Amino acid sequence: MSTTHKPQTKTNHPKRPPPLVQEDMQKYQLAVEHASDHIVITDPDGIILYANRAVEKITGFPPSEIMGTKAGVKWGKRMKHEAYTHLWNEIKHHKLQFHGEFQNVRKNGEMYTAEAKIAPVLDAQGEVLYFVGIERDVTQLREVDRMKTEFISLASHQLRTPLSAMKWFLEMLLDGDLGDLSTEQMNMLRNINASNERMIDLVNTLLDISRIESGRLVIDAVPTDITELVTGLRHELEPLMQAKNQTLTIAIADNLPQVTIDPRLIRQVYMNLLTNAVKYSAHSTTITVHVFVKEGMIISTVQDQGYGIDVSEREHIFEKFYRAKSAVKAEAEGSGLGLYLVKSIVETSGGTMWLESEPWQGSSFSFSLPIR
């Protein structure tokens, strides 16, 4: 009898774990059965084949009521049709893992928020054998988030009133309404005024963030001429750029169509990116704004020749309160909230935001806006 042994060659297949013995199988079974997250295994049509104990604990439905039914039908009634179709398309046709958050309903009618991950398990031919759905009840976490957002919103509102009063009185003093002041007194008041303005900006940013996070941001979209909006910023940026002897180049494609956007918010996006480009670049550098149309979107890019962002820090740059180490050294002033707000505004307006950067060779922040 002859047996053919395959030569030991390197393959691209991941190394298989050693076969499971009965004892290991029991351990895995127990771990899945007692996991605190809800775990469901379904066939390729989503029909439940297995549900662990947490499923009953979280949804309230005992296994006898859900085995053989389609996953999520009993507890996930709130999902919109388009979202449901998108989910199935992702996991069944594209065979990708889905990660999302749902508003579900327990058997007793109580609503809860579930963070869900659904992954297809494929056979050797790449066909779907099963789906594994893991859901975590994040109701309490989301409630804490909501309370935090509400607190920030309340605190910002309360802070705005005294800051506005200070601004008003400072302007009166600076205008000489209460008599002449010495140069030293004027300089000091100007510094106080600048700090007060920064505080007002910060409070307004916090208010906008809390509005976005709580879904209360009202987008007042009107047909807008981007060319006019962008060129109008030059005048406002002049004092900042002159102080650093920087140059602003604006390159806008001809015949840019009008877009239906909220001009106040999108203006804030450009201003934030441009003031960052000024702040995080050396003297005598050039900042360039490109605006053009690509695949039904208006693409805007703000490019600088500044300090750039290290690879290791790039993935955090749009996070709330994140500031790169180099930036903190070069520019002490900053909250790390601007880019978070900018990205949220762009996404709420139907666009996306991305960044290209090399340390010490400049950064290029881009965002897209749908034309329709």
Retrieve residue 372's tokens: 């329709």
- Closer residue to ligand ADP, CB minimum distance, 276 or 368: 276
Binding mask 316-335 for ligand ADP (x = CB under 6 A): -x----xxx--x------xx
Q: Which of residues 339-358 bind ligand ADP (CB under 6 A)?
A: 339-340
Site membership for ligand ADP, residue 204 (CB under 6 A)? no
Nearest distance in Å: CB 160, ligand ADP: 19
Nearest distance in Å: CB 238, ligand ADP: 19
> By CB under 6 A, which span of 74-82, 192-200, 214-222, 307-315 interacts with ligand ADP?
307-315
Nearest distance in Å: CB 345, ligand ADP: 12
- Closer residue to ligand ADP, CB minimum distance, 156 or 272: 272
Q: Which of residues 243-282 bind ligand ADP (CB under 6 A)?
A: 272, 276-277, 280
Nearest distance in Å: CB 314, ligand ADP: 9
- Closer residue to ligand ADP, CB minimum distance, 112 or 307: 307
How far lies 188's CA from each of 163, 174, 192, 227, 353, in Å? 17, 10, 6, 39, 40
- Closer residue to ligand ADP, CB minimum distance, 228 or 319: 319
Within a 10 A sphere around the Cβ of 117, how many other Cβ atoms? 14
> By CB under 6 A, which span of 25-33, 129-137, 219-227, 304-312 interacts with ligand ADP?
304-312
Site membership for ligand ADP, residue 336 (CB under 6 A)? yes
Considering only 72, 76, 306, 351, the residue that binds ligand ADP (CB under 6 A) is 306
> By CB under 6 A, which span of 115-123, 146-154, 175-183, 301-309 interacts with ligand ADP?
301-309
Measured CA to CA, the distance from residue 299 to residue 292 in angstroms comes to 5
Nearest distance in Å: CB 225, ligand ADP: 26
- Closer residue to ligand ADP, CB minimum distance, 118 or 309: 309
Considering only 116, 212, 309, 346, the residue that binds ligand ADP (CB under 6 A) is 309
Nearest distance in Å: CB 46, ligand ADP: 41
Q: Which of residues 51-110 bind ligand ADP (CB under 6 A)?
A: none
Considering only 338, 343, 353, 367, the residue that binds ligand ADP (CB under 6 A) is 338
- Closer residue to ligand ADP, CB minimum distance, 74 or 279: 279
Measured CA to CA, the distance from residue 280 to residue 323 in angstroms comes to 11
- Closer residue to ligand ADP, CB minimum distance, 75 or 340: 340
Nearest distance in Å: CB 267, ligand ADP: 15
> What own/partner pairs with CB < 8 Å and gap ≥ 24 does 268-271 have?
268/208, 268/341, 268/342, 268/345, 269/342, 269/345, 269/346, 269/367, 270/229, 270/230, 270/233, 270/300, 270/302, 271/233, 271/236
The size of the interface with ligand ADP (CB under 6 A), counted in residues, is: 22
Site membership for ligand ADP, residue 337 (CB under 6 A)? yes
Judged by the rule CB under 6 A, the positions of this chain that interact with ligand ADP are 272, 276-277, 280, 304, 306-309, 317, 322-324, 327, 334-340, 363
